[in-house]
Amino acid sequence: MAQDPKAYKKVIAHLQRISAATRESGGETVAKRALLDMYCAAAPSIAAIKSEISPAIATWGELSVSGEWVIAANSDSHKRLLYIHGGSWMAGSPASHRSITSALAELSGCSVLSVAYRLAPESPFPAGLNDCIAAYRWLEANGPEGEAKAEALFVAGDSAGGNLSLSLLQALKQQGLAQPNAVAALSPATNLHQHYPSVSANKDIDPIINADLLPLVISNYLQGGDASNPLVSPVLGELGKLAPTLVQTGEREVLLDDSRYYAEKVSEQGGKVVLELWPEMPHVFQGFSPLLPEATQALENIAEFFAEYG
């Protein structure tokens, strides 16, 4: 049972209302983006962030990627976190995920760069991933106070952003570039090539993800691209020599097995991975801190994981 049953029911009802509205809209892009902006708005306390927000432009090569700095009172300008938001690769923004980025800035002591990568369908794969790579390379050499080499560098992302975080590791490996100190993937999609058993097994208990719309979401992102590409389905890549990775997911999710199988394959290939499965929790439950005690604990676990490697 959830630690706070009343708060838990409030979150589930909130997500069910968003899901119903999304189905009613047919997954239309403008509607989905507006609804995703409400994802974490289950209670006023969630929006009461403590961090300072300021605009950022990450320029690397020919790409200039917008985003925002999220800086807590204890943030270290040389200890940096790239945060990649979720939203089915077609919605979401740094603003929609401030409940997570602000908490991580405060708990980890990192200066957080939350990136506004390009979205599908206007900009399908690999545009968003390329933006994330550019932002990561820029973050290696730039902090909130200007040009300065990072002393520790982390990556985190949720859902589609979790997919992009793990795909980023694959891209860095392919390009012979250094991995981050550690990565946290929250409810990531790891295999766009096939659906795992949890998609059907949890179809009727996942309060937010409509399993029937997953093929449309994937097609919207790939637009003819190869779903077997490890830059799209990171579970299909070489996983043994990547950054230490923490994977968190709720057991009520249709994407539950995406996390399970990814962690299993990393372990089989000799990589460093920690898998946290949270009973009863929905997709990206971490966004509901401080309303949900489990969300607060999960964010604290991420900060502790980063501290271990940075």
Annotated catalytic residue, options 96, 108, 198, 253: 253
State which H helix or E strand residue 250 sits in.
strand 245-250
Which one is catalytic: 68, 106, 283, 294? 283
CA 26/CA 32 separation, integer angstroms? 9
Spatial separation of the C-alpha atoms in residues 106 and 290, rounded to whole Å: 13
Is 167 labeled as catalytic in the residue annotation?
Answer: no
Residue 112 near residue 81, CB atoms below 8 Å: yes
Active-site hit among 159, 167, 187, 289: 159
Name beta bridge partners: 83. 114, 156
Buried/exposed 218-232: b ≥16 CB within 10 Å, e otherwise: bbbbbeebebebbbb
Judge whether 96 counts as a catalytic residue.
Answer: no
Q: How many CA atoms lie within 13 A of 62 on its CB side?
A: 2
Tell me the Ramachandran region of residue 266: left when phi exceeds 0, alpha when psi lies from -120 to 50, beta otherwise.
alpha
Is 308 among the residues known to form the active site?
no
Rounded to 5 degrees, what are φ and ψ at 128?
-60, -45
CB of 292 within 8 A of CB of 2?
yes
Residues assigned a catalytic role: 159, 253, 283
